[in-house]
Amino acid sequence: MITARTLILGSAAALMTLSGAQAADLPVKAKAVEYVRVCSLYGAGFFYIPGSDTCIKLGGYLRADTTFNGGAHGAPGWNGDIGQHNRYQNYMVSRSRIALTVDTRTATEYGVVRTFGQADIQFTTLGGSTANPNSLATNLGNNPNLLDTAGNGYVAVEFVFIQFAGFTFGKSASAYATPWQGFPGNINSSLLGGQNTDTGVNNIQYTAQFGNGVSGSIGLDDPTVWDRTAVYNLGIPSAIGVNGTGSNAYAGVHAPDIVGNIRIDQAWGLLQFSAAAHEVNGSYNTLAAGGVPSALSEISGHPDTKWGGAVMAALQIKNLPTGTGDDIKIDASYAKGATKYVIATSGTSPSFAMFGNSGFAYQSAGFGATTDAVYMPGAGGTNGLVLTTAWGVRGAFNHNWNPNWSTSLFGSYSAVRYDGGANDNLLGAGTTTAKGAYCAAFAASHPGQALAGNAAGNYTCNPDFNVSQLGIVTRWTPVKNLTFSGEIQWFHLDQKMSGSSVFTATAPKPNALYEFKDQDTVLFQARVQRNF
């Protein structure tokens, strides 16, 4: 009996012990999982960052481009080896890019606080439009093409900005720009005729909303990269080279560009007026060949700074009777001392050096130098900065055939003018005007110019030029956010020189007789793009 009672008590104790151990091993009740919640405040694609009241959207696109008889992203063959059509020219250039964007927004008592950034990871044909090893070796420390080798590529930064209470801080579109930038209907990034800051410029700006679709913006833009072309000191040795261009003698940036716009957005379209003030300053009166400073530069003085600027009017007309979503976009610009506001691309402003056929000379050549100003120091010279004038117009008609097919017809016309008469150097005006000073420097590397006292020269000099572009692009969108595009673009350089000269063109061109003549080129660009 005692044995039985002991067995029962022992078993009960063992069960209690086991039960206690199991209870101790039970897991603590987990916290509820906080699933991602959709944020519908700012449109499709936003969701709340877990644990916060901030909405975020991740997006971007993947794009592959190939350009035939042009540069990357549809640049015409308007200079370099492709402008010469020599054996270093690449007949096709490709670029693959994935763009990644991050957009965050938070509602506050001051309005929405927004941050936005875009990074482009891309790989382009090495050298772009040229396979010339000398071109690739140029500027070794700052040449992204050197990264386009097997297994490499590079990252480009586009917009990076913060918006708060109407202010924008960082790298964003200029307050001067239109919503379509340099893309009224084209896919190439080289449609001239107006300003373009489509990948952002460092700035501070403020936008005020007045109601009924009326707004106004004012900003300060960093001009270092986006708003400058070149200033030529025409008094230095070999001031103008064989391609009609010179060394840049701009001084350092002393003031930002002051920019702004007034804009009306309505159901019928958009009307915008923009203006900009741009400082133009030269470095020194005395510079060595190539525009580099010498021991005499600092004591030689410098030309007085001048302010130039630009104005633009832009118009978009929507709801055309030709089809659903059809529209017309057009903008017209005028600039004085701010040529980048007219001769603008997604990169630097080009100068033009194109070669073609001739009926009597070795070849023909067409030149166009893009500057903000020129100057020639000393008595009898321009004695100060002479601002360059430019104007342009560009636009497109965009038509949707159906939800899957669309076509855009686009074009532009731009003009660059230098102060003075067309025959200043011939008529004895000498170096007192921008044209006369330029032509005096041009004559040093291009013999045979008709000069005062030598009217029987083989050519007359005039640095003015016009450029025209006309193109058409057709897009096919078989499924949502996937588009195939094909674009044909014609480019024309209307230069103002006449006659011929025997000179040594940039290698590999020989020393020969060249006729000064207008030039043309045509390119084709193919693209596939997937947005996400």
For 279, the token pair is: 């400082």
Residue located via tokens 């020989």: 510
pLDDT in tens, 237-266: 999 999 999 999 999 999 999 999 999 999
| Interacting residues of 373 by C-beta distance below 8 A, sequence separation 6+ | 231, 232, 280, 282, 306, 308, 337, 385, 386, 387, 388
Residue 39 lies in a domain: no
Of 90-94, 154-158, 455-459, the poorest mean pLDDT is in: 455-459
The side-by-side arrangement of strands in the sheet containing 373-375 is 231-233, 373-375, 386-387
Partners of 395 in the β-ladder: 330, 411
Listed residue (420, 426, 520, 505) closest to 470, CA to CA: 520
Burial class (CB in 10 A: 0-12, 13-18, 19+), 30: exposed
Mean pLDDT, to the nearest integer, of 294-310?
97
27-to-17, 21, 31, 486 alpha-carbon distances in Å: 18, 12, 12, 62
Q: Is 207 exposed, middle or buried (0-12, 13-18, 19+ CB in 10 A)?
A: middle
Question: For residue 454, what are the contacts with CB-CB under 8 A and spacing of at least 6?
Answer: none
Whole-angstrom distance, CA of residue 392 vs CA of residue 521:
20
**CA 341 – CA 317 distance, rounded (Å):** 23
Token pair for residue 27? Answer: 């897991």
- Average pLDDT value for residue range 218-222: 98
What's the pLDDT band for 225 if we cut at 50, 70, 90?
confident
Mean pLDDT of 359-383: 94
Question: Does residue 454 sit within a domain?
Answer: yes
pLDDT-derived band at 9, boundaries 50, 70, 90: very low
Q: Tell me what the pLDDT averaged over the chain comes to.
A: 91
What is the span of the domain harbouring residue 161? Answer: 61-531
Tokens of 253: 């940036």
DSSP 14: H
**Domain for residue 263, yes or no?**
yes
**Domain count within the chain:** 1
- Torsion angle, alpha carbons of 314, 319, 320, 324, to 10: 130
- Residues 80-89, mean pLDDT to the nearest whole number: 96
The answer to whether position 10 is within a domain reads no
Q: For residues 41 and 37, give the distance between their C-alpha atoms in angstroms, rounded to a whole number.
A: 12
What is the model's pLDDT at position 458? 93
How many angstroms separate the CA atoms of 315 and 324, rounded? 19
Q: Is the pLDDT of residue 146 over 90?
A: no
Kindly state the helix (H) or strand (E) to which residue 207 belongs, with its residue range.
strand 201-211
Half-sphere exposure of 8 (CA within 13 A, CB side): 5
Helix (H) or strand (E) holding 12: helix 2-25
The maximal CA–CA distance of the chain, rounded, in angstroms, is 145
What is the separation of C-alpha 531 from the centre of its chain, rounded to a whole number of angstroms? 21
Lookup: tokens for 442: 């041009």
Torsion angles phi and psi, residue 339, rounded to 5: -65, -25
Asked if residue 49 lies in contact with residue 93, where contact means CB atoms within 8 angstroms, the answer is no
Residue 408 lies in a domain: yes
Q: Residue 337 has what pLDDT?
A: 98
DSSP characters over 63-103: EEEEEESS-GGG--S-SHHHHHT-TTB-SEEEEEEEEEEEE
Contact of 378 with 233, CB cutoff 8 Å: no
Residue 423 clears pLDDT 80, i.e. is over it: no
Q: Which CATH number belongs to the domain containing residue 416 in this structure?
A: 2.40.160.10
Mean pLDDT of 327-335: 98
- DSSP H or E segment with residue 374: strand 373-375
Task: Quote the percentage of the chain above a pLDDT of 70.
Answer: 91
Question: Per the domain annotation, does 56 fall within a domain?
Answer: no
Say how many residues make up the chain: 532
| pLDDT at site 6 | 44
Question: What's the rounded Cα separation, in Å, for the pair 179 and 170?
Answer: 18
Q: How does 86-114 read in b/e, with b if 16+ C-beta sit within 10 Å?
A: bebbbeebebebbbbbebbbbeeeeeeeb
In a domain, 424, yes or no: yes
How do residues 426-465 score in pLDDT, each as one tens digit? 777 678 899 999 999 999 999 999 987 677 789 999 999 9
238 Cβ partners below 8 Å, 6+ apart?
Answer: 289, 290, 444, 445
pLDDT at 11 over 50: no
Q: Is the pLDDT of residue 19 over 50?
A: no
Half-sphere exposure of 153 (CA within 13 A, CB side): 13
Residue 129 φ then ψ, to 5°: -85, 5
Whole-number pLDDT of residue 33: 55
Task: Inform me whether the pLDDT recorded for 149 exceeds 80.
Answer: no
Backbone φ and ψ of 214, nearest 5°: -95, 130
Question: Burial code of 425-436, b = ≥16 C-beta within 10 A, e = fewer?
Answer: bbeebbbbbbbb
Please, are residues 61 and 531 in contact by the beta-carbon 8 Å criterion? yes
**31 within domain boundaries:** no
